[in-house]
């Protein structure tokens, strides 16, 4: 069951930066932009960094995270006979991972991190650029 988040879930950690680090494949980023760019609260990040294996890294605001959750949830809720199943599957993955990362960050932050990291990638795990291998 997908539980909607409230605005209180985003940026709730007292030392948190009101943004999240997002790592995903370029195709997933393109999908995310296609779905959320028209939302009134989505803001395009200042910088998008290319990583290896076709991935990108960026930082999105809490406001933009809410726009991601709202727009992907709308795709899931509008599941009707004309719904494109690829769009629905991508929206489900983005919503679930984003929701889980934000929910977990409100409970505890791994390694006392001040920024929540959301990874939208189903490929086998590999060290994230900038972390110890």
Sign, CA dihedral 82-84-89-91, equals negative
Measure Cα distances from 112 to 10, 73, 119, 123 in Å.
17, 30, 18, 26
- The string of DSSP codes covering 92-104 is HHHHHHHHHHHHH
> pLDDT band for position 32 (50/70/90)?
very high
> pLDDT band for position 103 (50/70/90)?
confident
Interval 37-93: pLDDT, tens: 999 999 999 999 999 999 999 999 989 999 999 999 999 998 777 778 999 999 999
Please classify residue 17 by burial: count the beta carbons closer than 10 Å to its beta carbon, then call 0-12 exposed, 13-18 middle and 19+ buried: middle
Alpha helices in 5-118 (DSSP H): 26-36, 62-77, 85-107
Q: Give the pLDDT confidence score for residue 133 in this predicted structure.
A: 39
> From the CB of residue 74, how many other CB atoms can be counted at a distance below 10 Å?
13
What distance in Å separates the CA atoms of residue 83 and residue 75, rounded to the nearest whole number?
8
> pLDDT band for position 106 (50/70/90)?
low
> pLDDT band for position 6 (50/70/90)?
very low
């Amino acid at each position: 069951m997908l539980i909607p988040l409230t605005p209180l879930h985003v940026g709730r950690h007292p030392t948190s930066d009101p943004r999240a680090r997002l790592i995903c494949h370029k195709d997933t980023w393109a999908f995310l932009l296609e779905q959320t760019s028209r939302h009134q609260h989505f803001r395009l990040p200042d910088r998008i960094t290319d990583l290896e294996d076709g991935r990108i890294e960026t930082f999105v605001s809490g406001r933009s995270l809410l726009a991601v959750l709202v727009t992907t949830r709308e795709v899931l809720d509008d599941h009707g006979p004309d719904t494109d199943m690829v769009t629905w599957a991508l929206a489900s993955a983005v919503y679930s991972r984003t929701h889980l990362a934000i929910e977990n960050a409100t409970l505890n932050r791994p390694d006392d991190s001040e920024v929540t990291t959301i990874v939208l990638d189903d490929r086998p795990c590999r060290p994230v650029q900038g972390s110890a291998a």
